[in-house]
């Protein structure tokens, strides 16, 4: 469609278009609309399809104008956007719309658009990575973790609880300060497993449970820190009544030549297994270094291109991040509706990252355009299969759902951006330093 248009640049991502559709095009659409109404209109005294135009205009002028407007506005806006090489993200407003039979259609549109990105030399950058070598102490730590993972818990009955024991405790808890008149003030009883002296165990629990025998009870009060879980207990005093129901101690496998086979590893000696652990740790360190390199390159790209980003895209990304936070809270048993959660502060923090996310995405899309990067059907199918495994769905079910949601293009775009970032990373000169 040929239209006349003028553009006002309000910002890098906000434009106002003044658009004029020629009178002959407008009249053509009026004629078409009247013919459509004439075929189906029911007017007393006339057979369907035989209603005179003058009668149709008298009875259906408003409806016909609405049909013409609905058809012409989006087409005219697309034509104007193409003429000015704009990629519209969101139609913010349409105003000053004038539609009359036999006259040009005029209106103004305020739109959000993708910014123009003038990329510098995104290849050939230099990055220094500090890589930590694998030491004997690292291997010892890995062996210790394997010992802990394959340990067995042995019941303890002939002595009091001691640090390092695993205690099964029946806990009755009640908030006592500040005064709480809600249901949170009621006693809550649950059975929990506590590692006495463990990193995740509050010191007060270790202090009061050490020395108890199975069946004995103690009472104590704990002031929970501001970041405590659950949130409704954060910053409050809670009174506990704890009964030791069972006590166990962790028994470790000895680190000898039998150790590898006892945990399912096909090595005849501990020395051979240590060498294999060293190789695994080195591969892990290399993967971490590659991940760090990718993060550094992306951060540099974003810092080098402080482009303005459309607010609509920022809001979408922010909502995605908030949904992830809520899902994480639910996984941890935290109620996102808790009054103690400062969602305004969380939203402000996530917004800054959302802006960076959008900026990074737009930069990578631009690189992908310049490098003519495409996504094959095979790559898309492989990504869907990976997502299906991670989500515990069948590939067929996930693909059907993504198709219904219209998300396949989004996934293709993510793959394309990933390939663009990989290209920049591969073109980066890396200097490794041993930390």
Domain boundaries, the chain: 4-113, 152-251, 270-434
What pLDDT score was predicted for residue 407?
A: 87
- Report phi then psi at 256, rounded to 5: -130, -175
Burial of residue 17 (number of CB atoms within 10 Å: 0-12, 13-18, 19+): buried
Does pTM surpass 0.85?
no
CA distance 60 to 42: 11
CA distance 301 to 355: 14
Beta bridge partners of 405: none
What pLDDT score was predicted for residue 433?
A: 82
What pLDDT score was predicted for residue 205?
A: 92
Three-state DSSP at 137 gives helix
- Report phi then psi at 226, rounded to 5: -60, -25
Residue 255 near residue 147, CB atoms below 8 Å: yes
Nearest to 157 by CA among 145, 148, 165, 146: 165
What pLDDT score was predicted for residue 32?
A: 87
Superfamily of domain 270-434: Trigger factor, C-terminal domain (1.10.3120.10)
Nearest to 386 by CA among 399, 368, 373: 399
CA distance 125 to 364: 16
Residue 105 near residue 18, CB atoms below 8 Å: no
What pLDDT score was predicted for residue 48?
A: 66
Architecture category of domain 4-113 in CATH: 2-Layer Sandwich (3.30)
Expressed in angstroms, the distance from the first to the final Cα of the chain is 63
pLDDT, one tens digit per residue, over 57-101 is: 766 778 888 999 999 999 999 999 999 999 999 998 999 999 998
CA distance 20 to 326: 47
Q: Please identify every stretch of the chain with a pLDDT value under 70, giving residue numbers as ranges.
A: 38-56, 58-59, 178-187, 229-231, 339
Mode of pairing for the β-strands spanning 105-113 and 14-21: antiparallel
Task: Tell me if the bond preceding 230 is cis, omega within 30° of 0.
Answer: yes
Which string of DSSP letters, residue by residue, matches 305-350?
------HHHHHHHHHHHHHHHHHHHHHTT--TT-TT--HHHHHHHH
Q: Which numeric CATH code is attached to 152-251? A: 3.10.50.40
């Amino acid at each position: 469609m040929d239209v006349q248009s003028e553009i006002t640049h309000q910002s890098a991502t906000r434009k106002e278009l003044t658009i004029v559709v020629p009178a002959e095009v407008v009249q053509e659409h009026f004629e078409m609309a009247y013919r459509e109404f004439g075929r189906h209109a029911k007017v007393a005294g006339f057979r369907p399809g035989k209603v005179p135009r003058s009668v149709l205009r008298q009875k259906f002028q408003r409806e016909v104008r609405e049909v013409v407007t609905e058809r012409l506005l989006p087409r005219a806006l697309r034509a104007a956007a193409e003429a000015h090489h704009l990629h519209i993200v969101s139609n913010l407003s349409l105003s000053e719309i004038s539609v009359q039979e036999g006259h040009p259609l005029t209106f103004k549109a305020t739109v959000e658009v993708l910014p123009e990105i003038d990329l510098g030399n995104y290849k050939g950058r230099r990055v220094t990575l500090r890589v930590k070598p694998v030491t004997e102490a690292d291997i010892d730590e890995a062996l210790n973790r394997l010992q802990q993972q394959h340990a067995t818990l042995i019941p303890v009955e002939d002595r009091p609880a001691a640090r390092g024991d695993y205690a099964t405790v029946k806990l009755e808890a009640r908030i006592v300060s500040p005064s709480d008149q809600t249901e949170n003030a009621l006693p809550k009883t649950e059975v929990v497993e506590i590692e006495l002296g463990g990193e995740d165990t509050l010191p007060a629990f270790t202090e009061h449970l050490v020395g108890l025998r199975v069946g004995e009870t103690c009472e104590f009060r704990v002031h929970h820190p501001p970041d405590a879980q659950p949130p409704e207990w954060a910053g409050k005093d809670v009174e506990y009544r704890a009964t030791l129901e069972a006590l166990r101690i962790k028994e470790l496998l000895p680190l000898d030549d039998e150790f590898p086979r006892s945990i399912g590893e096909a090595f005849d000696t501990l020395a051979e297994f240590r060498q294999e652990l060293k190789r695994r740790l080195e591969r892990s360190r290399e993967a971490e270094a590659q991940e760090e390199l990718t993060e550094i390159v992306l951060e540099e790209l974003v810092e080098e291109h402080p482009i303005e980003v459309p607010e609509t895209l920022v809001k979408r990304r922010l909502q995605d991040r908030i949904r992830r936070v809520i899902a994480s809270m639910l996984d941890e048993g935290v109620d996102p509706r808790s009054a103690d959660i400062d969602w305004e502060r969380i939203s402000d923090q996530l917004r800054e990252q959302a802006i960076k996310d959008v900026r990074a995405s737009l930069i990578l899309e631009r690189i992908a355009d310049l490098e003519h990067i495409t996504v094959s059907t095979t790559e898309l199918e492989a990504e869907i299969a990976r997502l299906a495994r991670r989500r515990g769905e069948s590939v067929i079910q996930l693909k059907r759902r993504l198709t219904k949601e219209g998300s396949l293009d989004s996934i293709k775009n993510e793959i394309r951006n990933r390939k663009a970032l990989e290209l920049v990373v591969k073109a980066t000169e890396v200097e490794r330093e041993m930390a």
